[in-house]
A and B are shown apart, each in its own frame.
Chain A
């Protein structure tokens, strides 16, 4: 099958494109920088560019859409332009070009109002209640993708939760960088139970979604490792793999959430270029439970995660040179 993967230069996109290549699909990619995926045809461009998008979808039978603005910072307009308008543009172009299937790679944060999630399935995306520009714009985009589902075009959303693995800059590098500078507290002693997804499993789940479009089109599924862990233990595991000391101090979650809200507003005004030390989103992620009912996901996708968290941490440790203490550059 001819599959277009957008956002293949990121951790997960690269893994998805590579897996598709290994499964014998004819893979092309679309993102601003070359993906470097062996066996895939790169096409560079922006989701904000009509012509580039139209060219990218030509000839594809299916699209896996990962490209998005993912960040703790940035203007609302940027998020809107890439995540919402970009997805709309891609869907229109795809339908125009006769593409049959679209797997929209989303995030469980699209349905998260900040309350703890313990064992729930994929609730409907809710842009009104989602916290932060990223979650809100992803929620809008997911609703577009699902709304596009119909007789001649199938749309589905897959929401991997907290993807990590070797080479991950979103979670792993952030944790290591902050921990190395002792700037990462545990919130409420790090007891909140969270689901995460080892990158190989997330990629396999997304590819499974493409195979199972007949069963899942029109709906959203959360994908995780199905092994919830206390957040403190996960962070300690990542730190151990990366060879930095685990966080040793703890602050109340309520305090951190309040502080995060203040800091994320004040940080840019203070002329700081880097990421704020705490944001509300991060505080919520670190202090409230997020774990999901995977029964339906696994049944519909006919898929189970192949790499356990412990195996994933092993691989991470190998990637970082097996626990040798290393300097992590402060970014």
Chain B
């Protein structure tokens, strides 16, 4: 055999004769195996391995799949012996002429490992059906097993789901033999699943052992051995592995490529029910051949270093959260008020577009509705740990559904239409909800986009529509069942650490990430909002901004949702806001910056009564994106009695700091006068909220924040860290992101950069990922952007870098007033003005480009995707034709 496969050290390739004890072979049979094994290389270089990675490929790949792990295992920084096997009838191992079933294959692997005489702990690594084989071996050799690593695999067909279409096709009698063995179709199709496509030399290496139909019998047999139902001969072996996993306690790592037509997220979800302690990372955009699509070697060895030491002492000590450990659940106020003197007072109100009250519930009715729905949901199988995706606009239904889920111990998944259809679909698929509760539009999307979850409609639907949308039942029907089972409140008592919610980030900086919150963290969010803004029972709030809207009942405050299209916050009119305020004589208003912009723009539509209602509001909160001071001035005219606050925060920590309009003005004055060291260069977001601490990790010359020492010195720019009881628990199925966001003990890295001034106020300068490294200077964008936006002809500016790190040229990309029709270089006149404004903020701009509209996030229409602009500017400034950014 000539070893000339790209990425493989010839020294790794070896063959070994192994006596077979598998049932399919006659006693005394000896089989010849081919392996990639870095054992000899390690010995030659005097490197002592910490253990062995036993890597098992699936069908129709071979040990070549694991070459990156072999190379990394030979790194003196973390030597591990890596043994990647070619299963019998596969790769360059023997063609046995037998039909080896799953049980044989698991036994084969045991025979081989016995013959190899490995020293020390073993971590099994598997892909595709090799995942099952590796786990089968692992379960039978727990004494030496120190961990398991899985990539796109499956051990069980989840109940109620069907075999993936692609697999059904491969198994179809008319196709099977021809597709897998007679021709190389199955091979070629599998290789084509790489994202991006594999280079020709890599594809050739994957084909190398399978040239000619006689070499491919194993490929066909492997497919035929997939147990599609209980009557299949390998069904028992597969079930044995699947059930055995439930008692496996070693550390587990799952690295997943979700763009896989076979091993989709549903199988990952199934595996997680069996190995709930596993660390999981889903590589958005990667597919079946995740080991080709992404660098899996770095995370595997990082994970080994922290999770696996020696066999035996690496067992997971994941304590299950103890119930009732001293915190007040989110719904405590609701229960209290429903039983108190104000039980008949209104708790939640929903406005109709005509300015009248559409629906409302008293505290007692709300409590009862929550309990009834919780009982109904439980009856239909939703319980502790179930994931429930809520696709219901803010209002009575959402409030009831949310609190019902929390009370059951179900985990609510909140992904909103602000992510865009594609982003939303990606988020839902990745979070794998068990149940989706949605309005008709959401149910239609679920059907069209193939979201695998049981569907519950908000309203009762006609039978035909129910069938069409695949809807099981409705909230109303569940409430009726729940009322029939009036077993009072459900028995779930949350612990502070019990999972409660997955909220999605806006996706303005890459694919939206699911952020996990525990019951304790949600309760802390409530306490922070109450403590910072003084919101207390008896307050009445207009909920024009979803995240805080849901806190109303938790705060004991009456809440009203104004009539608006929630998918577009900018549709909130002054009239609708005022009508909502008037309906409950509101004291507090929550509204997003985009909503405020429209409220100001539509103020001509206010009635005298509406205007009067707004004049009685004494607190306004607007969060989600920076709110320009001129806009706040206009809002102040509409709400003259209100204190205007624009808290700063992120999906991972809501809120972090707070600042009022008066404080914004004071900060601007300080920045102008230069009397307060550190004031200026960015957006002042004020001081930490109740219970929160903030600090920065100073930036290095290369624009990263590599340090570990948080500081708060005035004028020192760095990545902003936050520590607070209401900071997120982790990212959902994003182990690598989790690792990256974990700062020094107890700190969350926000990915934002900024600095303090001498008065302890925080100034935000942009995103860490958007930092520009110009020659001799690390440049943050916000200060110059703000300076440019003071020009009358500019509505929105972005500062981006083009060219290689360390010597980047700086481009200012501006949206003008009025907007231009075609993107391209700015006129010399405008360019001069922009350059001068930026220079006054200390930033030397090379090129000024104009765009008809800045690429912003859908949710807030405010966060500019600077990474995308940077790529666009690079291409335009290289001399390409300016298309759309």
Give the complex CA separation of A236 and B826 in angstroms: 12
B775 contact from A236, A252, A295, Cβ within 8 A: A295
Query: Quick check: is A106 within 8 A (CB to CB) of the other chain?
Result: no
Determine which of A253, A287, A291 lies in contact with B809 in the assembled complex, contact meaning CB atoms within 8 Å. A291
Decide: A291 and B828 in contact? CB cutoff 8 A.
Answer: no
Is the CB of B821 closer than 8 A to any CB of chain A?
no
Residues of the B chain whose Cβ atoms lie less than 8 Å from the Cβ of A295: 775-776, 806-807
A246: CB under 8 A from chain B? yes
A189, A237, A253, most chain B CB atoms within 10 A: A189
Cross-chain contact B775 with A226 (CB below 8 angstroms): yes
Q: Are A118 and B803 in contact (CB under 8 A)?
A: yes
Contact assessment for A189 and B879 in the assembled complex, using a CB-CB cutoff below 8 Å: no
Partner of A252, one of B806, B828, B849, B881: B881
Contact B847 A228 (CB under 8 A): yes
**A233 near B776: Cβ-Cβ < 8 Å:** no
Asked if B775 contacts A193 (CB within 8 A), the reply is no
Question: CA of A297 to CA of B233 in the docked complex: distance in angstroms?
Answer: 73
With A188-B879, A227-B846, A228-B846 known, 6 other A-B pairs at CB within 8 A are A189-B882, A190-B825, A230-B831, A230-B847, A287-B879, A291-B809
Q: Which residues from chain B sit less than 8 Å from chain A, CB to CB?
A: 775-776, 802-804, 806-809, 824-825, 828, 831, 844, 846-849, 874, 876-882
- Bound state CA distance, A1 and B874, in angstroms? 45
List chain A residues, Cβ under 8 A from B882.
Answer: 188-189, 191
Point out which of B776, B847, B876 has the most chain A C-beta atoms below 10 A from its C-beta. Answer: B847
Query: How distant is B185 from chain A, measured CB to nearest CB, in Å?
Result: 40
Nearest chain B CB to A323 CB, angstrom units: 14
Interface residues of A in 117-137 (CB under 8 A from B): 118-120
A-B contact pairs, 24 of them (CB 8 A): A118-B878, A119-B802, A120-B804, A188-B881, A189-B824, A191-B824, A191-B879, A191-B882, A192-B879, A193-B809, A193-B847, A193-B877, A227-B844, A230-B877, A233-B831, A236-B828, A253-B881, A288-B879, A289-B877, A289-B878, A293-B775, A293-B807, A295-B776, A295-B806
Q: Does A140 contact B (CB under 8 A)?
A: no
The interface residues of chain A lying within 8 Å CB-to-CB of B828 are: 232-233, 236-237, 240, 246
Identity of the chain A residue whose Cβ is nearest the Cβ of B802 in the assembled complex: A118
Which B residues touch A253, using CB under 8 A? Answer: 879, 881
Given contacts A188-B881, A233-B828, contact A193 B846 (CB under 8 A): yes
- Cβ-defined partner of B877 (8 Å) among A192, A226, A237, A294: A192
- Report yes or no: A228 in contact with B824, Cβ–Cβ below 8 A: no
Given the interface pairs A191-B879, A233-B828, the reply to whether A119 lies near B807 with Cβ below 8 Å is yes
For residue B808, which residues in chain A have a CB less than 8 angstroms away from its CB?
119
Within the assembled complex, what's the spacing in Å between the Cα atoms of A155 and B882? 43
Chain B residues contacting A246 (CB-CB under 8 Å) are 828
CB distance from B763 to the nearest CB of A (A): 28
B803 touches A189 (CB 8 A): no
B804 touches A193 (CB 8 A): no
The interface residues of chain B lying within 8 Å CB-to-CB of A213 are none
The reply to whether A229 and B847 contact each other, CB–CB distance below 8 Å, is yes
Knowing A188-B882, A289-B877 are in contact, say whether A119-B803 is a contact too (CB < 8 A): yes
Total A-B pairs in contact (CB under 8 Å)?
A: 88
**Nearest-CB distance from B799 to chain A (Å)?**
15
Chain B nearest Cβ from A314, distance in angstroms: 13
Within 8 A of B (CB), among A234-273: 236-237, 240, 246, 252-253
Chain A residue, CB-CB nearest to B828: A236
Is B876 within 8 A of A191, CB to CB? Answer: yes
Give chain B nearest CB distance to A238 CB in angstroms.
Answer: 11
With both beta carbons as reference points, the residue of chain B lying nearest to A237 in the complex is identified as B828
A116 and B846 contact, Cβ closer than 8 Å, known pairs A189-B825, A233-B831, A291-B809: no
Report the minimal beta-carbon distance from A21 to chain B, rounded to whole angstroms: 32
Interface of A is mostly: mixed
Chain B residues within 8 Å of A240, by CB:
828
Q: Report the minimum CB–CB distance from B401 to chain A (whole Å).
A: 52
Instruction: Say yes or no: B775 contacts A294, CB within 8 Å.
Output: yes
Complex contacts, A192 vs chain B, CB 8 Å: 877-879
Given the interface pairs A289-B877, A295-B775, the reply to whether A233 lies near B825 with Cβ below 8 Å is yes
Contact B846 A229 (CB under 8 A): yes
In the complex, how many angstroms separate the beta carbon of A192 from the nearest chain B beta carbon?
Answer: 4
Q: How far is the CA of A152 from the CA of B874 in the complex (A)?
A: 45
Residue of A nearest to B829 (CB): A236
Given A232-B825, A233-B831, A295-B776, verify A191-B804 contact (CB < 8 Å). no
Residues of B within 8 A of A237 (CB): 828
**B620 CB to closest chain A CB, in angstroms?**
43
Report the separation of the CA atoms of residues A229 and B812 in the bound assembly, to the nearest whole angstrom: 12
| A-side contacts of B806, CB under 8 Å | 293, 295
Q: Which residues of A contact B807 (CB under 8 A)?
A: 119, 293-295
Please indicate the chain A residues that have their CB under 8 angstroms from the CB of B847 in the complex.
Answer: 191, 193, 228-230, 233
What residues of A have a CB within 8 angstroms of the CB of B844 in the complex?
A: 227
Residue of A nearest to B801 (CB): A119
Q: Say whether A188 contacts B880, CB under 8 Å.
A: yes
How far in angstroms is the closest Cβ of chain B from A287?
A: 5
Chain A residues contacting B804 (CB-CB under 8 Å) are 118-120, 293
Nearest residue (CB) in B for A292 is B807
Q: Is the CB of A288 within 8 A of B878?
A: yes
CB nearest neighbor in A for B822: A189
For B878, the chain A residues whose CB sits under 8 A away are 116, 118, 192-193, 288-289
Q: Which residue of A lies closest to B776 (CB)?
A: A295
Q: Which of A191, A289, A293 contacts B849 (CB 8 A)?
A: A191
Q: How far is the CA of A240 from the CA of B828 in the complex (A)?
A: 10
In the assembly, what is the distance between CA of A204 and CA of B738, in Å? 52
Distance A253 CA – B875 CA, assembled complex (angstroms) = 13
Q: Taking the nearest CB of chain A, how far is it from the CB of B709, in angstroms?
A: 29
Per the 8 Å Cβ criterion, residues 294-309 of A in contact with B are: 294-295
Smallest CB gap from B880: residue in A? A188
Identify which of A236, A246, A289 gathers the most chain B CB atoms within 10 Å of its CB.
A289
A216 to chain B, nearest CB (A): 19
Give the nearest-CB partner of A192 in chain B: B879
- A189: chain B residues at CB < 8 Å are 824-825, 882
A288→B807 CA distance, assembly (Å): 18
- Per the bound structure, the CA–CA distance linking A237 and B806 in Å amounts to 28
| Measured CA separation A198–B524 after assembly (Å) | 61
Q: How far is the CA of A130 from the CA of B878 in the complex (A)?
A: 19
Q: Which of B824, B849, B877 contacts A118 (CB 8 A)?
A: B877
Taken together as a complex, chains A and B put the C-alpha atoms of A193 and B824 apart, in Å, by 12
Q: Are A291 and B824 in contact (CB under 8 A)?
A: no
Q: B45 CB to closest chain A CB, in angstroms? A: 36
Q: Are B825 and A230 in contact (CB under 8 A)?
A: yes
Residues of B within 8 A of A232 (CB): 825, 828
Contacts of B876 in A (CB 8 A): 191
- Nearest CB of B to A179, in Å: 13
- In the bound assembly, the distance between CA atoms of A228 and B877 in angstroms comes to 10
Rounded to whole angstroms, the CA-CA distance of A268 and B844 in the bound complex is: 44
Contacts of A289 in B (CB 8 A): 877-879
Given contacts A230-B847, A236-B828, A246-B828, contact A193 B802 (CB under 8 A): yes
Contacts A118-B802, A119-B803 known; A228 to B809 CB distance under 8 Å?
yes
What CA separation (Å) do A289 and B879 show in the bound complex?
6
Residues of A within 8 A of B881 (CB): 188, 252-253
Residue of B whose beta carbon sits closest to that of A187: B879
CB of B828, distance to nearest CB on chain A (Å): 4
Cα distance, A132 to B828, chains bound together (Å): 32
Q: How far is the CB of A178 from chain B (nearest CB, A)?
A: 18
For the complex, what is the distance from the CA of A246 to the CA of B825, rounded to whole Å?
14
Which 8 A-B pairs have CB atoms at the shortest separation, nearest pair first?
A119-B803, A192-B879, A288-B879, A116-B878, A193-B877, A236-B828, A293-B807, A289-B878
Q: Which residue of A has the minimal Cβ distance to B836? A: A310
Please give, as numbers and ranges, the residues of chain A lying within 8 Å of B880 by CB-CB distance.
188, 191
The distance in angstroms between the C-alpha atoms of A230 and B848, with both chains bound, is: 8
CA gap between A192 and B802 in the complex, in Å: 12
Chain B nearest CB, measured from A59 CB (Å): 40
Q: Which residues of B contact A120 (CB under 8 A)?
A: 804
CB distance from B833 to the nearest CB of A (A): 13
